[in-house]
């Protein structure tokens, strides 16, 4: 291997120049963290949060209490941690396996039947249900706790 004199001069000059780039990021920032452990399915409230100083890279993507309040934990959340978008979801009003009243409406006509939920969902979410009368699988919209509405092509 040969070292050319011009490359050695460049390497020497590069290595002896002082570094001048400095970062202006703070060492810690005050951020909301959970004050207690939250179990899966539990709804978050503003009182579940407290402020704590943490490193800026640890709080990137964290939700503010106003964004997380009223949402449901998707898995166990430990005290002292930040809440991220994947940690919470819209509360499930209908849960998989739950018995439901399913209705079909067309103008003044309304037909109701019983069904079992094949998937869960929040208010206004589409869910799959199986009718207990006909054993057919339908897609319905969550209207409330234990109630769904089948959306037809006539709507």
Both 38 and 64 in one domain: the answer is: yes
116, 142: one domain? yes
Residues 73, 119 within the same domain: no
Task: State the first-to-last Cα distance of the chain, in angstroms, to the nearest integer.
Answer: 79
Query: Is the domain of 72 the same as that of 103?
Result: no
Boundary residue ending a domain (40, 69, 89): 89
Please name which of 110, 29, 34 lies closest in space to residue 79, comparing C-alpha atoms.
Answer: 34
Nearest-CA neighbor of 62 among 88, 91, 92? 88
In a domain, 141, yes or no: yes
Please report whether residue 66 resides in a domain: yes
The SS3 of residue 72 is strand
Helix (H) or strand (E) holding 103: strand 99-106
What's the confidence (pLDDT) of residue 10?
47
Instruction: From 44, 61, 89, give the residue that closes a domain.
Output: 89
Within this chain, do residues 106 and 66 fall inside the same structural domain, yes or no? no
How many domains does the chain fold into?
A: 2
Question: Is residue 6 a part of any domain in this protein?
Answer: no
DSSP for 109-143, please give it.
Answer: EEEEEEEEESS-B-TT-EEEEEETTT--EEEEEEE
Q: Within this chain, do residues 34 and 78 fall inside the same structural domain, yes or no? A: yes
Establish if 94 belongs to a structural domain: no
d(CA 37, CA 48): 9
In a domain, 137, yes or no: yes
pLDDT in tens, 91-146: 889 999 999 999 988 888 888 999 999 999 988 999 999 999 999 999 999 999 99
Query: Which of 39, 71, 89 is where one domain is finished?
Result: 89
Domain extent for 51: 29-89
Residue 5, H or E segment: helix 5-16
> Three-class SS of residue 98?
coil
Residue 118 sits in a domain of what CATH number? 2.30.30.760
- pTM for the model stands at 0.60
Question: In whole numbers, what is the pLDDT of the chain averaged over residues?
Answer: 85
Q: How many Cβ atoms are within 10 Å of 70's Cβ, its own excluded? A: 13
Position 19 pLDDT exceeds 60: no
> Where residue 40 sits, what CATH number does that domain have?
3.90.1210.10
Residue 13: which H helix or E strand, with range? helix 5-16
């Amino acid at each position: 291997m040969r070292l050319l004199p011009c490359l050695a001069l460049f390497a020497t000059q590069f290595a002896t120049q002082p570094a001048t780039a400095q970062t202006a990021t703070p060492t810690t920032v005050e951020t909301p963290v959970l004050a207690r452990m939250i179990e899966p399915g539990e709804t978050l409230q503003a009182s579940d949060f407290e402020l704590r100083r943490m490193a800026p890279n640890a709080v990137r993507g964290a939700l503010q209490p106003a964004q997380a309040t009223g949402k449901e934990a998707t898995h166990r959340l430990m005290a002292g941690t930040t809440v991220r978008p994947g940690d919470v979801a819209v509360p499930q009003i209908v849960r998989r396996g739950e018995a439901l009243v399913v209705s079909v409406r067309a103008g003044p006509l309304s037909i109701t039947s019983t069904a079992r939920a094949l998937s869960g969902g929040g208010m206004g979410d589409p869910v799959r249900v199986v009718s207990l009368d006909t054993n057919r699988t339908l897609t319905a919209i969550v209207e409330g706790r234990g109630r769904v509405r089948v959306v037809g092509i006539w709507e």
